Amino acid sequence: MKPAQKYYLLAYNAIAFLAWLAYGIGMLILIFFQPALVRHPVLLTIIPFLLPVAQGLAILEIIHAATRLVRSPIGSTAAQVASRILVVILLYLFFSDPYLSWLNAGLLLVSIAWTITELIRYSYYFAGLLGSEPHILLWMRYSFFIVLYPLGVTGEWLIILSPLLTYGLSARDVFGHLWPFAVSPVYYTIFVCALAIAYIVYFPVLYRYMWQQRRKKILDTK
């Protein structure tokens, strides 16, 4: 790897780590100190934008894989990034609807799963570029995914399904509130079914790949 490429990847991983760290801290502030934030409206304005910034940086990883700057498989990288970007877009489209009761649960789950996963992943990559792989980071990178990946997917689907869980195909919830979105519930259901097929195809591939990597990186080295 050329020095310029190495310095670029070091900078990218450091910036991505800091972005996820900022989002994680922001979420903790929202959860535990929300009443106090009334006196700090600037924070209430900034925190919601930390997630799209942190996740948006991952678009560059598709380019990294496509240009062979890193050895990540292009297919699974593109699928994972695209699914997360879609979830972030849906999250911010739906968040203005106060009746989507499942949305907050989904946001909490993806925030936990994505933040921990990415903090470990980017610190692991950063250390690797410096020629060091601390065993604790290695173990966390190839062990935490066992729980965090299914947790994240569960949160993603709570967000995706939240309108249907709330309004159903009748376009009306139990309190009589009408479906507020431009796309009808029938068309959204078709979209969700198509998305489910994509998840069924790519998630087992990614999950199996991580298990294979765990066996190679941890189990086979013992």
Q: Name the active-site residue from 8, 99, 149, 202.
A: 149
Instruction: Tell me which residue of 25, 4, 7, 27 sits closest to 15, measured CA to CA.
Output: 7
* Angle between helix 101-129 and 3-33 (nearest 10): 150
- Our answer to whether residue 142 is catalytic in this structure is no
Backbone torsions φ then ψ of 72, nearest 5 degrees: -70, 145
Residue 67 DSSP code? T
Given the residues 142, 156, 167, 188, select the one marked as catalytic. Answer: 156
State the Cα–Cα distance between residues 211 and 215, nearest whole angstrom: 6
133 in catalytic set: no
- Angstrom distance (rounded) from CA 155 to CA 144: 16
Kind and range of the H or E run holding 180? none
Residues 6+ apart with CB under 8 A from 13: 122, 123, 125, 126, 129
Taking the CA atoms of residue 63, residue 195, residue 145 and residue 14 in that order, the dihedral angle to the nearest 10 degrees is 30
**SS3 call for 162:** helix
List, by residue number, the catalytic residues: 149, 156
